[in-house]
């Protein structure tokens, strides 16, 4: 059974913005790209650097530490499937934004 992390209204980023959401032992980066929300772990799978503060270009986030670039929609390293940051669906229910976390055993 998946769980939902509620995002406080003041934390939901405006288009072009981002927010760090820390809840239930997880640190997540939430991005708003042209009105579409994307959520990923705020930790680069290479060496753990924060991704929230990276350079955002469309739906691509670049890690500040070593320049690795990840597609927010898939989580994969750009032009490769060798490295992936965990990404999560974002739902809007009755005006409330939720990040959906699947249990580890059912995650791809």
Q: Supply the CATH number for residue 43's domain.
A: 2.102.10.10
pLDDT at 92 over 50: yes
Q: How confident is the model at residue 104 (pLDDT cuts 50, 70, 90)?
A: low
**Burial of 11: CB neighbours in 10 Å, binned 0-12, 13-18, 19+:** middle
- Strand, helix or coil for residue 11: helix
Q: How confident is the model at residue 106 (pLDDT cuts 50, 70, 90)?
A: very low
* Distances, alpha carbon 47 to alpha carbons 58, 85, 91, in Å: 23, 11, 29
**Percent of the chain having pLDDT more than 70?**
95
pLDDT at 11 over 90: yes
pLDDT at 21 over 50: yes
Number of domains in the chain: 1
Structure tokens at 30: 């939430």
Q: Which pTM value belongs to this model?
A: 0.91
What range does the domain containing 54 cover? 3-106
């Amino acid at each position: 059974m998946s769980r939902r992390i509620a995002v406080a209204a003041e934390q939901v980023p405006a288009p072009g913005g981002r927010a760090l959401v820390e809840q239930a032992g997880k640190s997540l980066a939430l991005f708003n790209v042209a009105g579409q929300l994307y959520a990923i772990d705020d930790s680069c799978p290479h060496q753990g650097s924060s991704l929230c503060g990276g350079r955002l270009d469309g739906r691509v986030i670049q890690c500040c530490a070593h320049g690795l670039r990840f597609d927010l929609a898939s989580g994969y390293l750009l032009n490769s499937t060798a490295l992936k940051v965990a990404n999560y669906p974002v739902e809007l229910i009755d005006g409330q934004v939720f990040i959906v976390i699947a249990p580890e055993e059912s995650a791809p």
